[in-house]
Amino acid sequence: MLRILLLAFLLCFGLSAETRADGFDDGLHLLGGKFDDVERGVVILAGSGDQRAGAVLAALQDNRLMVVAGDPPSFFIRQADDSLLDAATLQPAGDAAAGAKAVRVNNRIRRAAEAALGTLNLSSPNAAIRRQAADAVFKARDGEALPALEAALAKERDPDVKAVMETARAAIFLANGQGDEAQRLQAVETIGRRGDPDALAMLRNLANDTSASIREAAAASVSSIEMRQSMLARVQDAIYGISLGSVLLLAAIGLAITFGVMGVINMAHGEMVMLGAYTTYVVQTLFVTYLPDAANWSLIAAVPAAFVVGGLAGVILERTVIRFLYGRPLETLLATFGISLILQQAVRSIFGPTNREVTSPSWMSGSFDILDGLTLTSGRLVIIIFCLAVFLGLLAFIRYSRFGLEMRAVTQNRRMAASMGIRTGLVDALTFGLGSGIAGIAGVALSQIDNVSPNLGQGYIIDSFLVVVFGGVGNLWGTLTGAMAIGIANKLLEPFTGAVLGKIILLVLVILFIQKRPRGLFALKGRAIEA
Amino acid sequence: MTSAPRTLSRRAFAGIAAKGAAAAALLPTLSLGAGQALAADATIKVGILHSLSGTMAISETTLKDVMLMLIEQQNAKGGLLGKKLEAVVVDPASNWPLFAEKAKDLLEAQKVAAVFGCWTSVSRKSVLPVFEQDDGILFYPVQYEGEESSRNVFYTGAAPNQQAVPAVDYLMNEEGVERWVLAGTDYVYPRTTNKILEAYLKLKGVGADDIMINYTPFGQSDWQTIVSEIKKFGSAGKKTAVVSTINGDANVPFYKELANQGVKATDIPVVAFSVGEEELAGLDTKPLVGHLAAWNYFMSVDTPENAAFIKAWHKFIKNDKRVTNDPMEAHYIGFNMWVKAVEKAGTIDHDAVIDAMIGVSVPNLTGGYATMMPNHHITKPVLIGEIQGNGQINTVWETPGLVVGDEWSDYLEGSKDLIADWRKPMNCGNFNVKSGKCGGV
C-alpha cells in the first residue's frame, strides 16, 4: 500500500515537475502529430510561459514551422530570407534541418494559434502588436485569457489600445458568462458602441440571458445597431454602384469616341481592353525580372504602355480595315467582329489559354473605412479615382488641344474641315487610335478586378454599347451619366432581386428608355447630328 | 494591277497545297509497304472532344493535352491489341450544338473506338443523344450534378455524394458550421447541387433561415454586394460557411473581393467544388490560405503514382510549372479503365467493351483503386483540402474508405427511388425500385 502511494506520489511529482520544466518541449513535440495533437500542443505552448513559444506559434500560424521527423521530431522556423532557425534554441540550424517539411495546419489550428498568440502578445512592448493581440483575444473570447488581459489592462497607457482591450474584456464577459451583473451591463454597452457585425452577433446571442436587465440592454443595443446598419447598407449600395459605374465608364469611354464621335460600330473594342490587360501582364513580368524592387509600381508604367499598344492596334485596324468601310455600318460590324475573334485567338496562341496572373500591388489591396462600418476596398477606390482622371483628362484633351479641335471639326463637318487644310484621313486614324488607346488603359484597371484571359473583352462589349447608347451618342458627359446611372441602379436592385434578375430588369428598363428616347439621355442637337 | 498577282499567288498556293496533300496521303501507304492498302486499320482511333477555343478553352485544353500524353505513353508500351493508338482531336469551340456535330463526326466518319471529352453539363447533355443513337462510348471526366446514367457514358468525375455532401459533413463536424451560404453560378450544375444540399441540410435539422442561396451570372466580376451580404449573413452569431459552386473563372474576382473585404478562412470558410490548382494558378493565394476545396485528387497528394504522373506531365508539356488537377486524374483513370476493358474484351467493339467495363479496377493517383460500378460511376476517395500560400491544396481530411458514385440523389424527391444498373438482366439507367419498372416512374 505504502509502496503504491509512494509510486503515485513520485509519478505525480515527477510528472508535474516535468510539465513545469518541459512544457515548451512537450507542446513543441506534439506539433509533429495529427491535427488533434497539434491543437493540444498549441494550448500547452501557450500556457508554458516560455519566451520561445511566441516565435513558434507565429511560425505555425504562417506555415513557416518546419519539422524533421524523428523521435522526438525536431522543429525549425523558416525566416523571411528562407534561412532556418532551430525552434528549441532559436539559433541558426545547420545540416539538421535537411529534408524539413512544413507542419500542416488547418483552420482549427490557425484559430487556436491566433488566440494563443493574442494572449502571449498582450504584454508586448510594441503598441501595434498589443492592439493586434487584443483584437485576437476579442475574436477568440476565450475565458482563459482573462487574467492576462486584466494584467495587461492595468499596465496599459495607450488609450487606443486600452479601448480595444476593454472591448475584448467585455466580449469575454458576455461570451463566457463571467463577471458580475454590473460588469456585464457595462460590457453590453461597450460592445454596443462597437456597432459592427461582430458586435451584433454577440449581442444577439444574449437574447436568452438569465438577467432581464441584460436582455433588455442587449435588445435595445441590437435594434439601434440594426437600424444604423440598414441605413448604412443603402449608402454602401450606392457607393458600390459608383464603383461599378466607374468600371463601366472606363470600359465605355473609349467606345464613346470610336462609336460615339466617329460612328464606327467597333465590335473589337473589347479586345483593345483585353490587349491593355495583357500589356499590364507583360509590363509586370518585365518589372519582376529586371526591376524587382519597383515591382509594386509596375501598374503605373503599364498605363502608358497599354495606351500605346491599344492605340497602335487601333490605328492599324483603322488604316487597314475600317477606313474602307465608312458609311457601311453592317459591314463594319461584321468585319470588326471577325477581327475580335482573330485577336482573341492570337492572344490565346501567344499567351496560352489559361488566365495570366496580374498581382495587385500592396497599395491596391485591403480595404478602406469611409465611415464606421462602411468600407470600400482600396482597389475599387483607386479605380474610381483613376476613372475620373481619365475622363477629365480626355475631356480637357478634346477641348483644349489642337488635335481635339481638328477632331471636333472633322466630325462636325468633314468637307469644310478638309478645305481648311485638315488632313481628315490622318485625323480619323488618330481619333480611332485615341479611342482604342483609352480602351487599352481601361484594360490596366480591369486587370485588377477581373481575369486576364482572352475572353476578357467579351464581357464588357455589350455593357459598353449599352452605356454609350443610353447616355447619348457623341456626348462624353452622357457616357459618364449613363455609366453611373446603370451602375447605381444595378447595385440598388441587386440586394432585392439577386444578380441575375437585377441585370435582366436593368436591360429591360434601358430598352424601354431607348424606345422612348432613341438618342439617349443627352441627345446632340443641331445640324451636326444629321450629317 | 494588284488583283492579278494575288490570284496568281492564290493559285500557286492551291497547287502547292494539293501536291502536299497528295504526298501526305501517299506517305503512310509507302511506309507501311505495298501489302497494306488500308492504313486506317493499323491503328485504333481515340476521339478527344474538348474545346480548344472559346470560354471553356481555359479548362479543356489541359485535358486534351493529358489525353495526348496518355495515348503517347500507351503507344510507348506497345499500343493496344497489337495496334498503335491514334488521337483524333476536334475542337467544339465551347459551342454546345457544335459538340453534338463534332461527336457525330467522330463516331460516324472517324469511327473512333472511344471518345474522351466534354466539361460542362450542357455539352454532355448535347452529345448524349448522339452517343446513344450511334452506340458510342464517352468518358466524362468532370464532377457533375448527377441525375443521369446512360449506357454509353462512363462518368469518371464525382457525383454529388462524392464531393458536395462529404464537404458539408466536414464543415458541420469539424468546423461546427450552423449557417450556410450556397453560392453558385446560374446554370444546371450549381442549381441541382444546391437543391440536393438544401434538402440534405434540412434533413440534418438546419432551419430555412440559416440557409442563404445566391446565384450569379457566368463571368461575374463585381462581387462587392454579394460579399458584403455574406459578411452580414455571417454575423448572426452562428458559425457560417460558404459552399461555392461558382464556376471556374468568376472565382478569381470572388476570392479577391473576399480577401480585400477581410473575410478570413478562420471566420467564414469557403468550400469550393470548382476551384482546383488550375484556377488558383491565376491568383495570389496568400490571402486565401485556409479556404477549402473538395475534390477526389490534389496535386499535393504524396504517393509514388502521383509523383510519376506529375513528372510525366511536366516532361510532356515541357513546362515544370504546370499544375495537375482532378479532371486530369479522372481522364487518367478513365483511359486506363478503357485500355483494361478492351484487353479483357479482346476487341474494340463498342457493345463488348461497354459490357467489359463494369467491374474493371485500376489504381488511382491517391494510393487507392477506382472500380467501375454497374451504374457507370466509379469509386473515389473524397478529399477536403485547404488552399496554401503557394497555390497548392493540402489534404486536411479524407473519407476513411472509397465512396461509390450515386447517380440518382437520395435527397431529391423523384430521384431517390431510382437506381441504374447496366448489367443484364436489368440493363436500365433509371429503374424505379418502388414500381419495379424501368423508365423513371
How does pLDDT run across A468-523, given as a tens digit for each residue? Answer: 989 888 788 999 999 999 999 999 998 888 888 988 999 999 999 989 888 888 87
Is B25's pLDDT higher than 70?
no
Q: Are residues A241 and A194 in the same domain?
A: no
Name the residue type at position B138: L
Residue B218 domain-assigned (yes or no): yes
Is A374's pLDDT higher than 80?
no
Residue B253 domain-assigned (yes or no): yes
Q: How confident is the model at residue A445 (pLDDT cuts 50, 70, 90)?
A: very high
- Is the full-model pTM beyond 0.90? no
Interface contact B260-A63, CB threshold 8 A: no
- Res A372: pLDDT: 66
- Res A18: pLDDT: 41
What's the CATH number where B176 sits?
3.40.50.2300
Q: How many residues does chain A have?
A: 531
Output B60 or A196, whichever has higher pLDDT: B60
Is A147's pLDDT higher than 90?
no
Rounded CA-CA distance B197/B165 in Å is 7
CB within 8 A of B4, min separation 6: which ones? none
Residue A53 domain-assigned (yes or no): yes
Q: Are residues A189 and A90 in the same domain?
A: no
In whole angstroms, how far apart are CA B57 and each of B51, B120, B212? 5, 12, 32
SS (H, E, C) B88-121: EEECCCCCHHHHHHHHHHHHHHCCCCEEEECCCH
For B266, the closest of A114, A244, A366 (CB atoms) is: A114
Residue A3 domain-assigned (yes or no): no
Residue B438 domain-assigned (yes or no): no
Q: Are residues A199 and A288 in the same domain?
A: no
B49: cell is 472532344
Residue A511 domain-assigned (yes or no): yes
Chain A residue at shortest CA distance from B51: A353
- Res A17: pLDDT: 39
Rounded CA-CA distance A118/A167 in Å is 14
**B51 CB-contact burial (10 Å; exposed 0-12 / middle 13-18 / buried 19+):** buried
Q: How confident is the model at residue B19 (pLDDT cuts 50, 70, 90)?
A: very low
Secondary structure (3-state) at B286: helix
Interface contact A491, partner B, CB < 8 A: yes
Q: How confident is the model at residue A295 (pLDDT cuts 50, 70, 90)?
A: confident
Is B418's pLDDT higher than 80?
yes
Interface contact A348, partner B, CB < 8 A: yes
Q: Are residues A147 and A80 in the same domain?
A: no
Q: Are residues A317 and A244 in the same domain?
A: yes
Interface contact A345-B269, CB threshold 8 A: no
Q: Are B180 and B211 in contact (CB under 8 A)?
A: yes
Is B7's pLDDT higher than 80?
no
Residue A12 domain-assigned (yes or no): no
Domain boundary among A75, A108, A141: A108
Note which residues in 213-252 of chain A have CB less than 8 A from chain B: 229, 233, 236-237, 240, 243-244, 247
Interface contact A451, partner B, CB < 8 A: yes
Residue B173 domain-assigned (yes or no): yes
For A354, the closest of B229, B259, B281 (CB atoms) is: B281
The domain in which residue A30 lies consists of 25-108
> How far does CA B227 lie from the centroid of its chain?
28
The size of the A-B interface in CB pairs under 8 A is 138
Is A110's pLDDT higher than 50?
yes
Q: Please tell me the distance in Å from B330's CA to the nearest CA on chain A.
A: 20
**B283 CB-contact burial (10 Å; exposed 0-12 / middle 13-18 / buried 19+):** buried
Q: Please tell me the distance in Å from B3's CA to the nearest CA on chain A.
A: 17
Q: How confident is the model at residue A403 (pLDDT cuts 50, 70, 90)?
A: very high
- Dihedral sign for Cα atoms in the order A400, A402, A407, A409: positive
Q: Are residues A174 and A78 in the same domain?
A: no
Is B26's pLDDT higher than 50?
no
Q: How confident is the model at residue A419 (pLDDT cuts 50, 70, 90)?
A: very high
B437: cell is 419498372
Is A192's pLDDT higher than 80?
yes
- Res A350: pLDDT: 92
What is the crossing angle of helices B121-134 and B188-203, to 10°? 110
Q: How confident is the model at residue B361 (pLDDT cuts 50, 70, 90)?
A: very high
pLDDT, average across residues A223-248: 89
Output A243 or A182, whichever has higher pLDDT: A243
Domain boundary among A180, A210, A240: A210
Q: Are residues A103 and A194 in the same domain?
A: no
Q: Please tell me the distance in Å from A308's CA to the nearest CA on chain B.
A: 25
- Res A119: pLDDT: 82
Domain boundary among A108, A139, A154: A108
Residue B233 domain-assigned (yes or no): yes
Maximal CA-CA distance, chain B: 82
Number of domains in chain B: 1
Q: How confident is the model at residue A136 (pLDDT cuts 50, 70, 90)?
A: confident
> Which residues partner with B431 through β-bridges?
B419, B438
Residue B237 CB neighbour total at 10 angstroms: 18
Q: Are residues A329 and A253 in the same domain?
A: yes
Q: Please tell me the distance in Å from B37's CA to the nearest CA on chain A.
A: 38
ipTM: 0.79
pLDDT, average across residues B192-201: 94
pLDDT, average across residues B65-82: 95
- Res B92: pLDDT: 94
**B308 CB-contact burial (10 Å; exposed 0-12 / middle 13-18 / buried 19+):** exposed
Rounded CA-CA distance B245/B186 in Å is 9
Q: Are residues A62 and A135 in the same domain?
A: no
Q: How confident is the model at residue A68 (pLDDT cuts 50, 70, 90)?
A: confident
Residue B75 CB neighbour total at 10 angstroms: 16
What's the CATH number where A515 sits?
1.10.3470
CB within 8 A of B274, min separation 6: which ones? B143, B244, B245, B246, B247, B248, B251
Say which DSSP state A104 is in.
Answer: P
> Measured between beta carbons, which residues in chain A are less than 8 angstroms from residue B249?
355, 451, 453, 455
Q: How confident is the model at residue B383 (pLDDT cuts 50, 70, 90)?
A: very high
The domain in which residue B193 lies consists of 164-272
Considering chain A, what is the average pLDDT of its residues? 85
Interface contact A110, partner B, CB < 8 A: yes
Residue B244 domain-assigned (yes or no): yes
Residue B436 domain-assigned (yes or no): no
Residue A240 domain-assigned (yes or no): yes
Q: How confident is the model at residue A4 (pLDDT cuts 50, 70, 90)?
A: low
Secondary structure (3-state) at B67: helix
Rounded CA-CA distance A200/A526 in Å is 58
Q: Are residues A277 and A333 in the same domain?
A: yes
Give the residue among A361, A63, A289 at the shortest CA–CA distance from B284. Answer: A361
Is A92's pLDDT higher than 90?
no
Rounded CA-CA distance A342/B153 in Å is 35
Interface contact A111-B282, CB threshold 8 A: no
pLDDT, average across residues B309-320: 94
Secondary structure (3-state) at B304: helix
Residue A269 domain-assigned (yes or no): yes
Is A331's pLDDT higher than 70?
yes
- Res B141: pLDDT: 96
Residue A95 domain-assigned (yes or no): yes
Q: Are residues A127 and A104 in the same domain?
A: no
For residues A447-472, b (16+ Cβ closer than 10 Å) or e, as one string?
bbbbbbbbbbbbbbbebbbbbbbbbb
Is A19's pLDDT higher than 70?
no
Number of domains in chain A: 3
pLDDT, average across residues B305-332: 94
Residue A19 domain-assigned (yes or no): no
> Measured between beta carbons, which residues in chain A are less than 8 angstroms from residue B220?
499
Alpha-helical regions (H) of A122-211: 127-140, 146-155, 159-176, 181-194, 197-204
Output A443 or A132, whichever has higher pLDDT: A443
Say which DSSP state A103 is in.
Answer: P
Q: Are residues A256 and A398 in the same domain?
A: yes
Residue B433 domain-assigned (yes or no): no
